[in-house]
Each structure stands twice: as structure tokens, then as C-alpha cells.
Amino acid sequence: MAIVTISHEMGAGGPESGTALAQRLGYRFEDQELISEAARRYGLLEEKLSHLDETKPSLFERFDTETRRYITVIQTVLFEFAEGDNVVLMGRGGQWLLRGIPHVLRIRVMAPFDLRVKRLLKKMSGQIGEGAHPRTITEMVRRDDVEKSGRMRYLYEVDVRDPALYELVINTEKVTIEAGVEVLSGLVRRPELATTLAGSQLVADRALASKVQVALATHPETRKFRITVEAKQGVVTLEGTSALDQAVEVARGVTGVVEVKTQQVEIPPIPPFVA
């Protein structure tokens, strides 16, 4: 049927909306499970995956090849979940990574800052059985906003708040979660969001390109080089300034690759973090 990606501000009700929407549609709901699956499948540390999933890479991490591998793995598993269709995906740059795919509905859930703080104060006070400190909650929400914004800007050179990244922005100040889910479930069932062979191929192409990126970021001969990867129906094109011969051999070993082409460039490609 469709793929739904939800970007959200802390305290705006994004996870609650995603869970309720998945239940209404009979879809899978993927949030923290995505990180657990990435750790299991690729043998990585779940704690570090969670850290890089939630924050902007530090100055040291920006130059660390292992950090690039971890972030690429997160992206790859998101693509693999998207390939399964009928799924609600939370965060992780889905609104950018799945752009241009006809059967993807990209949602932003937001609310005024003070309201989000108030909601979290109430929620956390109920969980811990005593009043949470307003200043602590305020700082937590502010820090989360900064980290999410910085991560998207660093990885993809986009503003997470840009409405052009979404088909719909929901302000939960007045629109309840129930009302929002009602609207979204109707949109998902629209014929223009029906999955097509062409749309599925776009997702498969991006998934394959990302798998090749993981292989390149893992192999000792290619991990230190920035090589751009594109894929179309099993044909992979590698673009970079060096190590392309080694990269070809690595790419050929990835399941689903039927042919590898290369394009030598004089100036290193400067894409968002991972092409």
C-alpha cells in the first residue's frame, strides 16, 4: 500500500501518532527496532548506533571512518524496512532518504515549545511518581531540538523544519493524535499513494546502493575513501577519485549487484554525508 515516514519534535506526539496509525492500517511500526536490527544484522554496538541515531556527530566522529560505517548501516536498514512496504518509519532521515518515491507519505509532527515542555512534565511526573523539574525538562527538549536539527543539516544539508520535506505537517496543539491519525489513514489509502512497480524499484535501487556503501565503508581497502554509489536495476555506478579498482571488487560481492561501472573524477564528490 504505502510507506509512511514520521519526523517529530520531542513532546509533540510523534511516536504515539505513528503507533496509532500503524495499528489503524495494519502496518508494521519501526522505531527502536530498526536500531536493534541494525546491530544484530551487522554485528555493531547498539549503544553507539543509538548515539549516532539521535545526535549530530562530534568533531572527532566526523573524521572517523567507523562513524561513517555506523551511520550508513542505519540508513541501509531503513531502506530494507521500506522495501517491505506497509510500514511506518520513525525519524532517521526518512523524509530525505525516501524523497521522490510516489508511495511514500512524509509527515512532520510538531507543537509549540512551551506546550511540548508542559506535556513532558506531566508525562514524566507520572512515570517517576514525583514532580520533574521544569528547568530540566525545558533543557532536555531544547537540546533534542538542536541535536535533531544539527544531525539533519550535517548529514543531508537540509533543515528538518523545512515544510518542503513533507507532504503534511501536523500541529498537535489543536489537532489531536486521534484526529491526525484519521486524516493520515485517509491519505494513505488514496490511489496516488498506491505502491507501483516503478516506485518499488526506486526503493530497491536506493537500498542496493546503500548496501554497497556499507560494504565499502567496511572493507579495509576502501573504507577511508569517499565513493559515491548509485544503483539502477542491479547496475551499480561508483564515482570517486581513487581506489575504484578495489571498490569494484567489493561492490561485485554485494548480493543483488549484476554489473559495476565506474566514473573517475578529479575533484572528490561533496555530497551530504552519504549519497
For the whole model, what pTM was predicted?
A: 0.87
Reduced to 3 states (helix: H, G, I; strand: E, B; else coil), residue 241 is coil
Least confident of 39-43, 196-200, 270-274: 270-274
Confidence of residue 118 (pLDDT cuts 50, 70, 90): very high
Q: Tell me how many degrees the CA angle 195-197-203 measures, rounded to the nearest 5.
A: 75
Identical topology for domains 3-193 and 200-264:
no
**CATH code of domain 200-264:** 3.30.300
- Cα–Cα distance for residue pair 221/201, rounded to 1 Å: 30
Confidence of residue 51 (pLDDT cuts 50, 70, 90): confident
Residue 275 has what pLDDT? 43
Most confident of 18-32, 50-64, 118-132: 18-32
Other C-beta atoms closer than 10 Å to the C-beta of 114 total: 10
Q: Tell me how many degrees the CA angle 246-61-43 measures, rounded to the nearest 5.
A: 60
What is the sign, positive or negative, of the torsion defined by CA atoms of 63, 64, 69, 70?
negative
What kind and span of H or E run contains 170? strand 168-171
Pairing of the two strands 235-240 and 259-264: parallel
Is the CB of residue 216 less than 8 Å from the CB of residue 251? yes
Is the CB of residue 31 less than 8 Å from the CB of residue 18? yes
What's the mean pLDDT when you consider all of the chain? 90
CATH topology of domain 3-193: Rossmann fold (3.40.50)
Domain ranges of the chain: 3-193, 200-264
Per-residue pLDDT at 130 exceeds 70: no
